[in-house]
Amino acid sequence: MIHAGIVGASGYSGVETTRLLLRRNDVSLDAASASSSAGKRLDAIAPEFAGRTGIVLEEFTPSHFTDLDVVFVALPSGEGMKVVPTLLGGKARVIDLGGDFRLQSTEAYQQYYKLQHTAPGFLPQAVYGLPEIHRNAIAGARLVSNPGCYAMSAILALLPALTDGLVQEQGIVITSGSGTSGAGRKATADYSFSELNENVKAYKVVSHQHTPEIESVLSEAAGTDVCVSFVPHLLPMTRGIYTTIHATLKKPVSREEVLGRYCAFYQKAPFVRVRHDVPQIASVTRTNYCDIGIAVQERTHHLILMSVIDNLVKGAAGQAVQNMNIMFGLPEELGLQA
């Protein structure tokens, strides 16, 4: 039995992580914290859990979590680095769903997250939780940093093209649209139904915090510097991410050849599906899959990539549970297949 806890259980990612853990007979959710909802039952925050758990949310107390086997930290960026060092002082292995340990550069973190990093000494031991390239490192990690949702959709789409040398490493253009749950439970006018319904708008243009994450992971995989232009958009929907990427081909190549290379690259990745048609968000909603579509535009010498994920599952909680499975030597699909 894996004894688990969730810090930040009342947010969207925390609730989604709870949903996935409660489906498991081999996992016991023993502790859950949430600062603003402390004292409330978890099923009062998320009525879908009625009759499935009687756990009461509490203020974060390190001693209630450090003796567990694994702790999921589902806190906003800037908050995770306050609790992760404390958790690592016990026996628990930690999976951080926030952004505090994704970047190895504290300067880049301060530039994009607008915060001073208070736990830089823990950055070297943080393993970036992308099983498609870091499976072995994840298996032995004490601290796993879950990828960002936008970053997940872009990185998985570009990895084969860059590692196989199909496209130029510079001038890659990424456009993503996300459901509003990606912003968390923010009760502000910008995220209200009346502002977002029947509307689409870009935000954090040229300054989104997932930009250096995308570039650093892809640069490591490609063995050379990768530079991207990334613009995210809010979509009038609750969940899901649609990413479209334009990259310049280094030499002419057919779509069939690219499809073959992508299928070979991901043949051992159970949650990446290379599509022969145009992917759509509805195909991945509430699943841990990333679907990738491919087009070759001969006239402009561009490779066009499309990827879709559920931002709360493959982009957050599902990926975290997939990482947990790997960390404990379990089949990574366990509890995540429909």
Q: Are the C-beta atoms of residues 30 and 46 closer than 8 Å to each other?
A: no
Residues that are catalytic: 149
Instruction: Report in angstroms the alpha-carbon separations of 216 from 128, 293, 323.
Output: 11, 23, 20
Distance CA 95, CA 158 (A): 25
End-to-end CA distance of the chain: 22
Count other C-beta atoms under 10 Å from residue 237's C-beta: 16
Cα(311)–Cα(133) distance, rounded to whole angstroms? 20
Tokens of 241: 């991410």
